Amino acid sequence: MQAYTLPRAEHGISREDISDNALKVLYRLNKSGFEAYLVGGCVRDLMLGKLPKDFDVVTNATPEQIKSLFKNCRLIGRRFRLAHIVFGREIIEVATFRGHHSEGESDNKLGQQDAQGQLVRDNVFGTIEEDAERRDFTFNAMYYSVADFTVTDFARGRDAVKNREVDLIGDPETRYREDPVRMLRAIRFAAKLDMTITPRTAKPIPELAHLLANIPPARLFEETLKLFLGGAGVQTFRLLQQYGLLTPLFPQLESIAKNPDSRECQFILKVLENTDERINSNQRVTPAFLYAALLWYPLEEHAQKLQAESGLNQHDAFNIASGEVIHRQVQRIMIPKRFSTVIRDIWILQQRLPRRFGRRAFQLLSHPKFRAGYDFLHARGEIEGGNTMELADWWTEFQHADQGKQKKLLNALRQSEGSKSSGPRKRRRRSPEKRDAGNA
């Protein structure tokens, strides 16, 4: 690898843009005689003029040596051993240069590959050159030093930044086989940084997309969060679809993935659009909402099938289908319980929100997940129109109305429902519960 040393004038990174805590870590390591650099996403983002999400440091000190230098240090990680230096809410991640795995090492405890060529353990220490070769994209292999304020650019990352290109270091097919998650990372950076994936880096993806099935579901959960909650979810979804990466992640979206113009796809894109807007204006989002949306049409389809095939009533079919759709999904992507319960709450509210008579409307308003359920209904309404939109509009009005207005809205509802019904008034009065349920 040919390394280029970029002086300050050529990389434009100023110490003022760097977190004080990261600077402290760099200085302390340097003072103790170690090499230390900022590397990866933060150097890339600083060159792009963006605010880095976090600052990662790399050094020739071993994790134990790092630990002995910082009181506020924790050692973490199994696949990669790392040090976390904790400064209140900010954590500076410090890694030791990683090296290559020589042949004799392939079955030792430090570095391991499985039969597909995938790295399962990765703790061989190395030189800065080796560390650079092991990184994924050219723009992620730039090292900023506070010893002389230069950036060492090992893979012409600066050109990639200038040309806005996502380009893998090394042979793309080999790099994807080593770690199939790099396919998702290519998509993530292309979407988030508004860059294009170079043809050589793009080409193997559709053929290798299936390798994602070898990635542990817990890691895929983390990766999908980064994919969809990075503020560019719409573009990310489109690219995943285009490169055949959606189905390996969400097998139940197979038919939807083939049909980008479908109503089902439009709904997911609508929810992602709202999510992007919220993230880009610093509002909170929950992954549960997104998963609820991604799996909503598979759920409807499965519930209908269960109802038709086994004669279950709508309510039971929906409940059973909810559990099964989530169960199928977690075979691929782990969904922590705290999210899956919210996913189900949102879904159940879709069943309950149409039933508004008597005290129900007020009970629903005080449901802890009402807001999420209502937002979900609204997004559905925007795509489905018709009754769903009418229902969403009703709830929009009802939740903001004062008591008097709320009563009027409920009365109006009763009357309009009454006029639609052909049954005798007396019977309706006697069994409001049944009528109510029938309206759903």
Closer to ligand ATP by CB, 227 or 377: give it.
Answer: 227
In the residue annotation, 136 being an active-site residue is answered as yes
Site membership for ligand ATP, residue 276 (CB under 6 A): no
Residues 245, 21: Cα–Cα separation, whole Å: 38
Q: Which stretch binds Mg ion (CB under 5 A): 40-48, 117-125, 170-178, 234-242?
A: 40-48
> Among 26, 41, 271, 326, which residue sits at the site for Mg ion (rule: CB under 5 A)?
41
Closer to ligand ATP by CB, 230 or 381: give it.
Answer: 230
Apex 49 CA angle, 48 and 51, nearest 5: 110
Compose the 132-161 pattern: x for residues touching ligand ATP by CB under 6 A, - for all others: ---xx---x---------------------
> Among 8, 15, 31, 53, which residue sits at the site for ligand ATP (rule: CB under 6 A)?
53
Output phi, psi for 86, to 5 deg.
Answer: -100, 120
DSSP 8-state assignment for residue 308: H
Give min distance, CB of 359 to ligand ATP, in A.
48
In the residue annotation, 56 being an active-site residue is answered as yes
Output phi, psi for 58, to 5 deg.
Answer: -130, 150
> Among 177, 182, 302, 356, which residue sits at the site for ligand ATP (rule: CB under 6 A)?
182
Site membership for ligand ATP, residue 290 (CB under 6 A): no
Question: How many chain residues bind ligand ATP (CB under 6 A)?
Answer: 10
First-last CA distance in the chain: 65
Task: Indicate which residue of 56, 131, 153, 179 is catalytic.
Answer: 56
Give min distance, CB of 180 to ligand ATP, in A.
9
Of 200, 238, 358, 226, the C-alpha closest to 279 is 226
Residue whose CB is nearest to ligand ATP in the complex, by number: 41
Burial grade of 184 (CB within 10 A; 0-12, 13-18, 19 or more): buried
DSSP 8-state assignment for residue 359: T
Contacts (Cβ under 8 Å, ≥6 apart) of 44: 139, 140, 142, 157, 161
Q: Which stretch binds Mg ion (CB under 5 A): 35-43, 240-248, 383-391, 426-434?
A: 35-43
> Among 13, 36, 38, 56, which residue sits at the site for ligand ATP (rule: CB under 6 A)?
56
> What percent helix, strand, coil does the chain show, rounded to 5?
60, 10, 30
Residues that bind Mg ion (CB under 5 A): 41
Query: Which residues are catalytic, by number?
Result: 54, 56, 136
